[in-house]
Structure 1
């Protein structure tokens, strides 16, 4: 076998092997013949004419993501940086458009995102940008779908993933938030103090009421006990005056005894002579007598009797009639 024949076999083998190629899953291959588009080959083992057909390029059919960072300003003149994530893929039926009509798809998508964001954000205030970021993402997706579908691209989703104001603006917002929370805390503390004061006042009022009721009950029981004591003494032949004297003297000496039994007591009962009980009783009797006399005089003064009115004289005029009140 000659050397030339061996070389021919080797070349034929390589040419035969170059006729076959494989396409991976979720991708497509563009075949050109003499520089002209021939066909689109999908995943699997494919065949081409050696030295005639060539692989012009591969197109990825998977979902891709492009992150676009845009610097713009809001309606209240606050500069912010926004990060918009665009998820897109090539439509399998439009591989030709995606490969031949658009050379740099990422740059094209970035330009559209810049255009939409810088048209929407200046209409909003800073707080509204945070609240309506979903509306901005929807506007970006709508604009991209209208523009990129002609190039064979499908926009799956758009997300506003970050809104970053200037550092000074963020510090101011944090101070405003902190001041607002401090104000709320102060209001809650004031309300808590008010509740405590009201509760304390109610408790003191209730305590005073119960204390007064207790004193009234105590005095009522003391009076009832005195009445019972007088009735018991009257039954054994002691009249009311003598019974009162006996009760006063007994209470006087009981008080002196309780003071003497307590070494730390600062209470002094004046007077404390042996005649103190008798003097106290005499004073009480004199006071009761004087009070009764004053009461009788007031009753007599209140019983004023008016004299009957006189008839007018027949002289042609009437005298003024003055009531004669007997003093």
Structure 2
């Protein structure tokens, strides 16, 4: 048996540097697992038809185009903090399954939001629409592009389940709840945008179940379950829900005020799609004119941004984010894991919320 640090279970003597090396090693193995899985699928389908190979190429390009791998990172951290063996390939499969689920959600999100850009490149439905137009095919290019994106997003969802079938048994129970929760949250998000009614309670609920829980809370609990540490679920839930909500609120601020060159996607999508985020809900409670700026023709996103700033709500959201991060850090302070892992989780709360490397 190898004595390399990456294959040894936690001993309680780790340093911050050593736990990050172990985590980074496992994340590299996740990358390799995703790449090898998709390469094998491409090889399988390339013999069927070249069009099928294009489907796998398109999915692989998105999977390997970057991304922060936040969900795999929290799953692996929860597993290692709980004393899991870094040499177990099951936790790598679980983390890869989480990332594949995330890719599925991104593809579908871009269709729902009519977004033209993801990670600095054309979104999948946009690219397929352009392909349809360039080749002069029959039918409507937009419907073809959106249809292909929906189907490939579904394929990624299928693959996420296939990867997760190789995870430790303690991971899979949480997995079933996570998948349904994400989809129900998406339905609530679409409905709230259509209703466009000011309801901060609903906005917070959507942020929690659509993003917060599936980004941090449930991946952490899945990791702990993989190490047979169900006793950590309560602390990880309190930490994960607070930090997960802060993470989503940061996304809301970046959508409203961020630079698309840095975020890799168009700014102001929440405005154009009438997303009832907590930021917008709070702002419209203070200034009814914002609703008019978002819904009536002739107004620009810059007008909405200026009005939002005038309400003072962005500063309130920043304070709420800081309070949530502090709540998460306190929740993990007494968790029954080694101090180095408590410190690492406290640092991760800050890194993911403020987008620090």
Which has the greater radius of gyration?
A: 1
TM-score normalised to the size of structure 2?
0.18
1 or 2, which has the higher strand percentage? Answer: 1
TM-score normalised to the size of structure 1?
0.19
Report which structure shows greater RCO (CA 8 Å, sep ≥6). Answer: 2
